[in-house]
Amino acid sequence: MDVPFENVLPVLRTPAIARLEPDVHHVDAPAERDADTPIVAFTCDGFVLSRAEVAASRISDEQLLRQALANLAKRRGSWRVEEMAGRGFLGVGKKYPQVMCLVHELAAEHILLEGFLDEIERMMPSATFFVPKRGTLRCATPDYVARERSKARRAFVTAGAQAVCPVELHRSPIVGQAFALGARYCDSDYATPLPAVR
């Protein structure tokens, strides 16, 4: 069977936003299900797919997500280094990235790509990732996490319908998982457990 929606792309949402849009097709993010895990909607040629459209196509959630991730992988964004510092004595010596941001309209959705966070964590050991809103993905080494956490909290609180995740992400120690959830940086009703949204 041919997979329809050849231009489909993933869009991360909060469970609260998903609840307000009962006609939009959502699936669980491919991670260990947790109340703080984002939910995935899908866009195609600039329009968000409805549940009716997906049902009429008879495509499974797995096929739809696979196609969306393949499309995203073909148009990956680029990292911009914002802070550099040395890892040696008193920071002297070769400089390494300490804070980076991903430049791309679907920056947040990159966390769904297999091995994506692992690649960055190899360049920035013990990196913490923040995806407070659509189009925003930032990572920082331990010395810069407190500052980035404060920025992420402000971004999430003011993001409205563009809000994504109020939790820090880390490279997952579990095989097959895209990311691991760390500390919360924002209190909200986002963490209210929900049934699976389809």
Q: What is the pLDDT of residue 1?
A: 37
Which residues are paired to 86 by β-bridges?
A: 95
Please indicate whether residue 94 or residue 197 has the higher confidence score (pLDDT): 94
Residues 44 and 112 grouped into a single domain? no
Write out the residue range of the structural domain in which residue 59 sits: 9-74
Q: Residue 186: inside a domain, yes or no?
A: yes
Residues 59 and 93 grouped into a single domain? no
Distance CA 128, CA 149 (A): 9
Residues 99 and 70 grouped into a single domain? no
Last residue of a domain, which of 57, 74, 91? 74
Q: Please, what's the b/e burial string for 9-21 (b: 16 or more CB within 10 A of its CB; e: otherwise)? A: bbbbbbbebbeeb
Distance CA 66, CA 61 (A): 8
Helix/strand/coil for 81: strand
Its pTM stands at 0.85
Q: What is the pLDDT of residues 1-27, one digit of tens each?
A: 345 678 999 999 998 888 889 999 999
Q: What is the pLDDT of residues 27-83, one digit of tens each?
A: 988 766 567 778 999 999 889 999 999 999 889 999 999 999 999 999 999 999 998
* Tokens coding 108: 């947040």
Last residue of a domain, which of 51, 74, 97? 74
Distance CA 141, CA 130 (A): 12
Which residues are paired to 84 by β-bridges?
A: 97
| pLDDT tier for residue 186 given thresholds of 50, 70 and 90 | confident
